[in-house]
Amino acid sequence: MKNYVFYLMMASVLFLTLSCKKSKEDVPINGITLSQNAAVLAIGGELTLTAVFTPDNATDQNLFWESDNPDVATVANGVVTAKTKEGTAEITVTSKNGTATATCNVTVTSRQMTLTRTTSGTVTIELVGSGYASVDWGDGSDLETKTLSSSTTEFKRTASGTIKISGANITEFFCANNQLTGLDVSKNTELIVLWCNRNLLTTLNIIGCTKLRELYCNANQLSSFNANGCAALNQLNCVENELTSLSLNGCVALASMNCGWNQLSGLDVSECVGLLTLHCNNNELMSLDVSANTKLRNISCKSNDLSNTELNNLFGTLHSIDLGVDKIIYIYDNPGTGSFTHDTVLGNGWKIDTAE
């Protein structure tokens, strides 16, 4: 009888042990969620994907990572590395038993824009374009990735330091009123519109933005600005900076420019052959030559340092082409203004306006 009880107890223990073991082995992963399902990386950039599986007490928690385009991006234990080739790669994570998977679509591009803000505060960014765009806020958090469209898409966060924006097809970028001190968009060759006005910018790099048509960088702290080679640039507003240097070589499509309220002592617009309006008032100009600008119809050079001689020289460079519209030049508050009568019409068809 004792032996019978003993064997019965042993059988029960063995049964329970096997049952527990079987139960433990029978908890498979039935679902996986990634920390991001889409991201944009700059060439050479990295992204760490975190996988969360259900149930969290799954027995075998081993995962397999794979990239369908390792020439564009590779993955190892969730760390995605962008290679030197632009394109897209689908990163897939799979449970060991193959019953659960999740994917992240990664775009690799050279088109990254960099913003700098030295103090902490709210930064609001609006983008227009297509495909995905990712913002690295520089605080160690996951990339913030959104799908772009023809309407503005907003990104907003409290941030400081360096902020990076990556996207293969960002065409319009609005970042006004953010206390930014630096901005580099030179790698975004698709950019068409940029509004970065009312910041604290001391540096702005747009070299390489050959499709850029509209730029508002007014009300900043720029002391020099180089727009050389921006052949598509049509509108430029850089009023109310601290400019002593403005370079516009190759800006053949520039039609409207306002560079007033700066510290320019010279201004070369000889390659801006498409200029229609030129506002360079409230600077320190001592001379101005617009002989190459045969489409001009409106010039404001008020409040500069143009003497009587230099004003006459300027008048001599004004074209005489009949554009079918009034051609007016505003010369109020220059040293030589008093020598001219208000509303005088020059022989080349230009009217002088001396009024304040």
Bond before 55 cis per omega within 30 degrees: yes
pLDDT at 4 over 80: no
Average pLDDT over residues 47-67: 84
Every domain of the chain and the residues it spans? 31-109, 112-353
**Predicted confidence (pLDDT) per residue in 257-314, tens digit:** 999 999 999 999 999 999 999 999 999 999 999 999 999 999 999 999 999 999 999 9
**pLDDT score for 25:** 59
The residues, ordered by sequence, that sit 6+ positions from 273 with a Cβ below 8 Å of its Cβ are: 252, 292, 293, 294, 295
Average pLDDT over residues 10-16: 49
With DSSP H G I counted as helix, E B as strand and the rest as coil, what are the percentages for the chain, rounded to 5?
10, 35, 50
Provide CATH code, domain 112-353: 3.80.10.10
Query: Count of residues for the chain?
Result: 356
In CATH, what class is 31-109? mainly beta
**Predicted confidence (pLDDT) per residue in 147-174, tens digit:** 999 999 999 999 999 999 999 999 999 9
